[in-house]
Amino acid sequence: MREAYHEQLGSIGTQLGDMCGLVSTAIEEATKALLQADLGIAEQVIGDDVKVDEIRSAAEEQSFNLLALQAPVAGDLRTVVSVIHIADDLERMGDLALHVAKAARRRHPQPVLPAEVAGYFEEMGRVAVLLAGQAEKVLREQDIELAAQMESTDDQMDDLHKHLFTLLMSPEWPHGVATAVDVTLLGRFYERFADHAVAVARRVIYVVTGSMPNIED
C-alpha cells in the first residue's frame, strides 16, 4: 500500500518536472515573439498553454486523492501539500509567459518594444529561462544547493526590472504613455515569473529539510 503511495507521489513529481520544462519553453518562445514581433510564435505559445493547465489539474487531483485516501503524516504530508503549491506556481509561470505572447499578438504587426528597452527584455528572457531550467533540475533531483543559489539569479531579474523602471520614469522617455504601460506590464510579468520559480525552489527546500527558507522581498 505504502509502495503504491510513493509511486504515485513520484509520478506527480515527474509531472511537475515536465510542467517546469513546458513553462521554460513558453517564456523562451514568448520572448522571441516579443522581440521579433513574430505572430506565429506568439500563437504557438498561446495554444500550448493548455498543456500546462492540464498537467496542473492532473497533479492537483492526484494530490487531493492522496490526502483523502492515504492520510499522509509528517514528511509525506509536507510533500503532498508542497506539490499543490508548486503546481500552482508553475501554472502561474505559464500564465505569465502567455501574457507576454498575447502582448506580442495584440500589437502585431507593430513591435511592442521600443529599441531602447529591447535589450532589457532579451536579458530578462534569458534570466527567466535560466531560472525555469534551474527549477526543473531542483524538482527532478531535489538539489537544495541549487535551490538556494536561485535567489542570486533572481536578484539579476530584480536589478533589470529596477533599471527598466528608471528608464521609463525618465523625463526624456519619448514613446508616450501607452507604450510605457505596455513595457511596465511586461517587465512585471518577467519579474513575477522569476519570483514563482524561486518559490518552487523554496518549496523543494521545505520538502527536503522541513524548514521553509526566509522570504525577503
Among 37-41, 136-140, 156-160, 208-212, whose mean pLDDT is lowest?
208-212
Band (9; pLDDT cuts 50, 70, 90): confident
Percent of the chain with pLDDT over 70: 93
Percent of the chain with pLDDT over 90: 80
Residue 131 covered by a domain: yes
- What is the extent of the structural domain holding 62? 2-209
> What's the residue count for the chain?
217
Residue 217 covered by a domain: no
| Cα–Cα dist 115/45, whole Å | 23
Model pLDDT for residues 93-114, shown as the tens digit of each residue? 999 999 999 999 999 999 999 9
| Cα–Cα dist 168/157, whole Å | 17
Output the nine-digit C-alpha cell for 96: 505569465
Count of domains observed in the chain: 1
Residue 36 covered by a domain: yes
Residue 104 covered by a domain: yes
Residue 73 covered by a domain: yes
Mean pLDDT throughout 42-49? 98
CA dihedral angle for residue 147, residue 85, residue 125, residue 103, rounded to 10 degrees: -170
Q: Cα angle vertex 113, ends 125, 95, to 5°? A: 50
Mean pLDDT throughout 89-94? 98
The DSSP code sequence of 10-63 is HHHHHHHHHHHHHHHHHHHHHHHHHHHT-HHHHHHHHHHHHHHHHHHHHHHHHH
Among 125-139, 166-180, 183-197, whose mean pLDDT is lowest?
166-180
Helix (H) or strand (E) holding 167: helix 144-168
Residue 193 covered by a domain: yes
The predicted pLDDT at position 3 comes to 65
Among 43-47, 85-89, 116-120, 208-212, whose mean pLDDT is lowest?
208-212
Band (217; pLDDT cuts 50, 70, 90): very low
Residue 166 covered by a domain: yes
Output the nine-digit C-alpha cell for 119: 535589450
Residue 216 covered by a domain: no
| Stated pTM of the model | 0.93
Mean pLDDT of the chain: 92
How far is CA 98 from each of CA 39, 118, 153, 188, rounded to the nearest angstrom? 13, 19, 22, 13
Mean pLDDT throughout 116-136? 97
Output the nine-digit C-alpha cell for 59: 497533479
Output the nine-digit C-alpha cell for 137: 533540475
| Cα–Cα dist 173/143, whole Å | 43
Mean pLDDT throughout 30-56? 97
Model pLDDT for residues 59-83, shown as the tens digit of each residue? 999 888 887 776 666 678 888 889 9
| Cα–Cα dist 45/24, whole Å | 11
Output the nine-digit C-alpha cell for 83: 506539490
The predicted pLDDT at position 4 comes to 63
The predicted pLDDT at position 151 comes to 95
Q: What is the CATH number of the domain that holds 9?
A: 1.20.58.220
